[in-house]
Chain A
Amino acid sequence: MQEIRRASYSGTREGLFHYITFLAALGLVALVLGIFFLVTMQAAPAWRAFGFSFLTTSIWDPMHNEFGAVPALVGTVLTAILALVVATPLSVGTAIFLSEMLPQRLRRPLSFMVELLAAVPSVVYGLWGLFVLAPWLRTGVGQFLTDHLGFLPIFAGPSLGIGVLTSSLVLAIMVLPTITAISGEVIRGVPTGLREAMYALGATRWEVITRVILPTSKPGIVGALLLGLGRAIGEAIAVTMVIGNANLLPRSLFAPAQTMASLIVNEFPEAFDLHLSALLLLAALLFLITLAINIIAAWFVHRPSPDATATDKESVWARLLPKGGG
């Protein structure tokens, strides 16, 4: 009798337990839907007021309730792409060096160190950018570029130390550990058999790298780069600290500019009504852009390449989790 009672008692508890975990899982879905719908709902007034002209006009004037996001959009895309241009050769080169050219004993600690740097918060990268990189760009490199290449439009104007170039470099340094870690993972996933077959045919190490390893791991590396692009586009604080926060179309790499995220950081405390709605519209755009980029990135990272052994899909996802930034 006692056993039966216990069984039925645990039966209701069982139901409750299932229900609680069910609610928690549902909560996660509701949270993401909630963020998306509440942000877009509050962004709607700005969209109704400006429509596509929000994306095509350049005047951002909270005093007269006029909002056009072109400078912020251009600044965001420009800094993120420049960051990727700088970070791609560095991080892919580092990944090749770490996984293919180093002996096992050195590879582990060095890869670990690089991965650890993904955890350094973005405000610290910004601090370094502002007090170490910016003065150096202003006096050393900046002076050199204005003196010798100043006739090129991209190097026109005085080098203030803060602006598009500095932000792009800080972003490049920030996304470097992430891209290197994921690319390295993908490169190490190339089956040893393929390498050995190439070596057996008499290929040099570089030929093995360019003809087997890079083609096999290309989707994964492209995914890693896209992920880095997503991080660079959404980065707020580090960029705000070094971009100069001028809501203008940048005329050169030395010019101060603005990104969508830095515009929000600069203006949220005073924003209300249409101004706030315009900022939320920027946030909604950021949400959608990074979402699209991340979905494509995940698709690339997971796409089974015909030659690679199946890597554990879930553990790749764990790699994609953010460790730092913000």
Chain B
Amino acid sequence: MKNIQKRKALGALFEVLCVLAAGVAIMVLALILYYVFRRGVAVVNFSFLTSLPTPVGVAGGGIGNALIGSLLMVGLGALIAVPVCIAGAIYLDQNPASKLAAYARFATRVLSGIPSMVVGLFVFSQLVLRTGHYSALAGGVALSIVMAPVITLSAEEMLRLVPSSQREASMALGATKQQTVFRLILPGAAGGLIVGVMLAVALAAGQTAPVLLTALTSRFWLTSLAQPTASLPVLIYHYATSPFADWQAHAWGAALVLVAVILVLNVTAQVLLGLINRRR
């Protein structure tokens, strides 16, 4: 403790290393966004967003069918996952100490850690191989499994934030459990539930492996749920790994659209969460 100069110098040295680490990390991450923006902006325009892909070498073409396919499959996933997961979260909230609640919580956490690739192969072997074709439906199912843990765990947390004093007041007024859930707890937690769903949608929209293994891709407009379906992440993957310069450029355009949607969803969710926390 005697040599204060030496201690300060040593501290300064390591602090500089920390600043360097942070600088490198933030710079690399900023660089990724920069490239996505710069190379994407060069391609994205109205007809890029609304037209079908063209064959190699033919100018124009876009990501219209992939955009619709992604919207549809993420929507389908949400349609399956949201009711089941919120109902599950209500069970966890109403019977927090039950045995099933403990198992369900553990299962959800396990699910959140499974690589999405495994979920994709699971749906591939169970649905795609059994029905004999890749389909938007299988893609929706795979995405619903990816979304499930995010929705369930965030919903449980949001429901728990409704104060027990209010629940007791509701019960004291003679409301049944069901009435308490529908008239007090769900409305009170609505904002938080929406945040959870938005984060889950953002997560699902960016998934490549689960969609690639279940819906594959397509170069045409979607006409039925039972056929291979294009999606943004899979299109980026295919175009990026193709040897054609115009497809590679389109991959950057699609990446810009995808990243923009996902970041807007995440920022909105965080802002909403901030508002909810402030009101509380």
Identify the A interface with B (CB < 8 A): 10-11, 13-14, 17-18, 20-29, 31-33, 35, 38-39, 42, 89-94, 96-98, 101, 110, 112-114, 116-117, 119-128, 130-132, 173, 176-177, 180, 202, 204-207, 210, 230, 233-237, 240-241, 261, 264-265, 268-269, 276, 279-280, 283, 286-287, 290-291, 293-294, 298, 314-315, 317-318, 320-326
Stretch from B50-58, B59-67, B99-107, B163-171 contacting the other chain: B99-107
CB closest residue in chain A, given B110: A32
Q: Report B-chain residues with C-beta under 8 Å of the C-beta of A204.
A: 7-8, 11
A128 to B29, CA, bound (A): 11
A291 touching B114, Cβ below 8 Å: yes
Say yes or no: A323-B209 contact (C-beta < 8 A), given A28-B111, A28-B152, A94-B21.
Answer: no
A276 to B111, CA, bound (A): 23
B91 touching A123, Cβ below 8 Å: no
Q: Report B-chain residues with C-beta under 8 Å of the C-beta of A233.
A: 115
A96's contact among B18, B122, B199, B236, by CB below 8 Å, is which?
B18
A176 touching B25, Cβ below 8 Å: yes
A268's contact among B121, B153, B251, by CB below 8 Å, is which?
B121
Say yes or no: A14-B14 contact (C-beta < 8 A), given A31-B111, A264-B117, A314-B160.
Answer: no
Say yes or no: A29-B157 contact (C-beta < 8 A), given A24-B91, A101-B19, A326-B208.
Answer: no
B111 touching A32, Cβ below 8 Å: yes
Q: Report A-chain residues with C-beta under 8 Å of the C-beta of B267.
A: 116
Q: Report B-chain residues with C-beta under 8 Å of the C-beta of A324.
A: 203, 206, 262
Residues facing A in B255-279 (CB within 8 A) are: 255, 258-259, 262-263, 266-267, 270
Say yes or no: A234-B154 contact (C-beta < 8 A), given A28-B88, A176-B25.
Answer: no
A217 to B91, CA, bound (A): 34
Q: How many A-B residue pairs have CB under 8 A?
A: 297
Q: Report A-chain residues with C-beta under 8 Å of the C-beta of B152.
A: 28
Q: Number of contacting residues on B, CB 8 A?
A: 100
Shortest Cβ distance from A182 into chain B, in angstroms? Answer: 14
Q: Report A-chain residues with C-beta under 8 Å of the C-beta of B116.
A: 234, 236, 322, 325-326
A321 to B196, CA, bound (A): 11
Say yes or no: A29-B85 contact (C-beta < 8 A), given A116-B267, A264-B121, A323-B202.
Answer: no
Shortest Cβ distance from A229 into chain B, in angstroms? Answer: 12
Say yes or no: A283-B240 contact (C-beta < 8 A), given A25-B101, A324-B203.
Answer: no
Q: Report B-chain residues with C-beta under 8 Å of the C-beta of A122.
A: 206, 208
CB closest residue in chain A, given B125: A42
A21's contact among B90, B148, B216, by CB below 8 Å, is which?
B90
A83 to B240, CA, bound (A): 23
Q: A117-B32, A173-B28, A240-B237 are in contact. List 18 more A-B contacts (CB 8 A).
A: A24-B91, A32-B111, A35-B114, A89-B21, A93-B20, A114-B26, A117-B33, A119-B206, A120-B32, A120-B259, A123-B208, A123-B255, A176-B28, A202-B1, A206-B15, A290-B113, A291-B114, A321-B153
Q: Report B-chain residues with C-beta under 8 Å of the C-beta of A13.
A: 178
A125 to B146, CA, bound (A): 19
**Does residue B138 face the partner (Cβ distance < 8 Å to A)?**
no
